Amino acid sequence: MKCKSCGEKATVYMRQHHKLALCKEHFLEWLPEQTERFIKKYRMFGRDDNILVAVSGGKDSLSLWDILHRLGYKADGLYIGLGIDEGISYSDESHRLAEKFASERGLKLHVVDIQKTYGHTIPVIAEKTHRGFSRPCSVCGVTKRHEMNRIARDMGYSVLATGHNLDDEAATLFGNTLSWSKDFLPRQSPVLPESDGLARKVKPLCRFYEKEMTAYALLRGIEYIYEECPFSVGSTSIYYKELLNQLESERPGAKLIFYTKFLEAKDAGLFAPPEQIRAELFPCPTCGQPTSAEGQCSFCRMMEKVDERTSG
Ligand code: AMP
Ligand code: FES
Ligand code: ZN
Ligand code: ZN
């Protein structure tokens, strides 16, 4: 197989992208060029924006930071220490890799440690709020979202970028479609506009297959954590990813079509415009972050429960 650009031996073959074959050098150029196209297409941000990239230490978010840096955007990182240490030192190792990535490139990394800031690790918060063991993923999700919004706002970032790839987005879409979620489907988007007290949220990698991101990270020599979060084993999202991979192996490109045709249908008016769907937001009386119901936001409600159960 030969590189479409230079005719040298190809390193990456993308059956799903019209059988595109590229050598290492041209693949490493192609991926950021495509990212730039999507940033413009979905009007994510410009060169003047201050971007906060949420980095988990995994291949997607570190590659995203690398790409934005190579493209000349102003992007700092945020690592959230979750205190997940079940079997492997998942959090310590991902923290180390995020720090290493930043210091080798002279980039600025903000670090928030949940235990230091709120007194407990994510598994402990999950245990206290759910009385006994439960999968901490939803507690973790609420916390990460809250902390990303908080740091973006406190530090004056206009844009918050995450490393969600096509496999992530297609699995989420699949789940939302199975239940025809009228709350989540209209809001699943590569860009969520800023609103009072909330930074704009963007997913610049949402059209790249997971295996393309793995190839990018490896070929760029980015050191990242190979392990998935130990709590993700057996999760619904991994099950949906497996189902979609089966489909993809029979029909190359199916995942991309599933996702992009959804975005097109949404643009063509499948749902009411976002202004009509978006619920009114109220500031949380405890932390000030906008929330859809009057009263405390879900994070502050959760932390209050933890405090009650810790003291009482
Ligand atoms: P996940 O929810 O683990 O699939 O991660 C989705 C995205 O959230 C990643 O690509 C990162 O941008 C961000 N993210 C996940 N975990 C962390 C973390 N511990 N600190 C900062 N950002 C994170
Ligand atoms: Fe949060 Fe796994 S529970 S990353
Ligand atoms: Zn080439
Ligand atoms: Zn709050």
Banded pLDDT at 86 (limits 50, 70, 90): confident
Tell me the residue type at 208. Answer: F
Atom of ligand 1 nearest to the CA of 80: 20
Residue nearest to atom 4 of ligand 2 (CA): 229
278's CB contacts (< 8 A; 6+ apart) are: 195
Most confident region among 111-125, 262-276, 291-305 by mean pLDDT? 111-125
Give per-residue pLDDT as tens, 172-206.
Answer: 999 999 999 998 999 999 999 998 889 999 999 99
Average pLDDT over every residue of 116-124: 96
pLDDT of residue 1: 92
Banded pLDDT at 278 (limits 50, 70, 90): low
Strand, coil or helix: 11 = coil
Per domain, the residue ranges of the chain are 35-227+251-271
- Contact, 90 vs 225, CB < 8 A? yes
- The whole-chain average pLDDT of the chain stands at 94
Q: Ligand 1: distance of its center to the CA of 4 in Å? A: 34
Residue whose CB lies within 8 A of the most ligand 2 atoms, among 229, 235, 236, 238, for a mutation test: 229
Average pLDDT over every residue of 119-139: 87
Residue whose CB lies within 8 A of the most ligand 1 atoms, among 144, 150, 224, for a mutation test: 144
For residue 140 and ligand 2, the question of a CB distance below 6 A is answered with yes
Q: Is the pLDDT of residue 281 over 90?
A: no
To 10 degrees, what angle do helices 166-178 and 210-219 make?
A: 160
Residue whose CB lies within 8 A of the most ligand 2 atoms, among 55, 84, 146, 162, for a mutation test: 84
Model pTM above 0.85: yes
166's CB contacts (< 8 A; 6+ apart) are: 205, 206, 207, 208, 209, 210, 255, 256, 259
In three state form, how does the secondary structure of 92-123 look?
HHHHHHHHHHHHHHCCCEEEEEHHHHHCCCHH
Give per-residue pLDDT as tens, 13-54.
Answer: 999 888 999 999 999 999 999 999 999 999 999 999 999 999
Banded pLDDT at 274 (limits 50, 70, 90): low
Alpha carbon distance 99, 105 (integer Å): 10
Instruction: Kindly report the CATH class assigned to 35-227+251-271.
Output: alpha beta
290's CB contacts (< 8 A; 6+ apart) are: 195, 196, 197, 198, 281, 282, 283, 284
Q: Which residues line ligand 1 (CB under 6 A)?
A: 54-56, 60-61, 78-80, 82, 144, 162-164, 168
Instruction: For residue 299, report the phi and psi dihedrals to the nearest 5 degrees.
Output: -65, -50
pLDDT of residue 133: 61
Among all bound ligands, the one having the nearest atom to the CA of 208 is 1
257's CB contacts (< 8 A; 6+ apart) are: none
Q: Is the pLDDT of residue 131 over 90?
A: no
pLDDT of residue 58: 98
- Contact, 148 vs 236, CB < 8 A? no
Alpha carbon distance 59, 75 (integer Å): 17
DSSP designation for 241:
H
Q: Is the pLDDT of residue 310 over 90?
A: no
Alpha carbon distance 202, 194 (integer Å): 10
Where on the phi/psi map is residue 72: left (φ > 0), alpha (ψ -120 to 50), or beta?
A: left
Residue nearest to atom 3 of ligand 2 (CA): 137
Banded pLDDT at 277 (limits 50, 70, 90): low
Give per-residue pLDDT as tens, 200-247.
Answer: 999 999 999 999 999 999 999 999 999 999 999 889 999 999 999 999
